[in-house]
Structure 1
Amino acid sequence: MKKKILVVDDSEPILELASTMLKLLGYEPIKASTGVEALKALKMEKPAMALLDVILPDMDGFKICQHIRSNTELAEMPVFMVSAKKTTEDMERGQKAGANEYVTKPFKSAEMAQLIKKYIGD
């Protein structure tokens, strides 16, 4: 059974690109373009991992990450913040929210693939 990875981004091209990459790596992407969709998907799909954009229309990725960490069923799930925001302050906010990694856009697919495998395997 393929491991599910939640991908949250409000940019349709980035959502599609990340989903295609995950499919090629043998994972099942679960797509969400808002925080509300992400929270629903977390509850319904129980993914193995989440890739969260920081800037979303309704709530930021940090809040979603905090929600994951405060939920006993999801707390151990690896979470990557994936953002164009590259400041030290943003990266520190990601760490404080509980993110395992902070990946800046544009990211290289090979590097992302290595990180994902490091956390959840094939």
Structure 2
Amino acid sequence: MAYRILLMDDEPAICEITGILLKKLGYDPTIAVTGEEALAEYKKGRENGNPYDVIILDLTIPGGMGGREVISIIRESDPDVKVLVSSGDLSDPAIISYADYGFSGVLAKPYNKVGLDQAIKSVLSS
């Protein structure tokens, strides 16, 4: 059975391309464009007994709930969840000290198919 991946990103092109890459890598992706949508999908998966194996959260969602806010809410109910933080700003404290913010690993933008797969596999094996 394919690992279920929840991706939250506000950029349509990133959502589309990453969704395609995830499918090609053999994962089962779900895409959310807002923090609220990601939380709703996450909750639905848990309630259905089909939780996500890895969640990828964009750190910054302009005018909305970004990765920092989403991870803090998810961690309250699921301390063992595997969550990658994704950003192009590698100087952000949540990237540098990702574990302090509740993240399991970092997916630096721009990423490619190999980098995406490696990041997912590294948190799955941890």
Fold shared, TM-score > 0.5 on shorter chain: yes
| C-alpha distance after superposition, 1:78-114 (max 9, x if no partner) | 1100111110524246332210112221013202212
Contact residue 51 and residue 82 of structure 1 kept, 8 A = yes
Q: Cα 1:97–1:89, aligned 2, differ >3 Å: closer, same or farther?
A: closer
Structure 2 alignment gaps of length 5 or more: 46-50
Alpha carbons 1:63, 1:97 under 8 Å: kept: no
In structure 2, what residue type is equivalent to 1:19? G
Contact kept? 2:107, 2:119, Cα under 8 Å: no
Query: For residues 15 and 69 of structure 1, what CA distance do their matches in structure 2 show?
Result: 24
Q: Distance in 2 between matches of 1:110 and 1:31?
A: 20
2:112 equivalent among 102, 108, 114: 108
1: distance between equivalents of 2:106 and 2:123? 14
8 Å Cα contact 1:5-1:28 kept in structure 2? yes
When the two structures are superposed, what TM-score results if normalisation uses the length of structure 2?
0.85
How far apart, in 1, do the equivalents of 2:59 and 2:119 lie?
A: 18
Q: Report if aligned partners of 2:106, 2:119 keep a CA contact under 8 Å in 1.
A: no
Match of 2:12 in 1: 12
Amino acid at match of 1:52: L
Aligned equivalents of 2:121, 2:97: Cα separation in 1: 24
Other-structure match for 2:68:
62
**DSSP 3-state at the match of 1:62:** helix
Q: What is the alpha-carbon distance in structure 2 between the residues aligned to residue 91 and residue 120 of structure 1?
A: 19
The SS at the match of 2:93 is helix
Scaled by the length of structure 1, what TM-score is found?
0.87
Number of residues of Structure 1 aligned to a counterpart in Structure 2: 119
Q: Which residue does 1:85 correspond to in 2?
A: 89
Unaligned runs of 5+ in 1: none
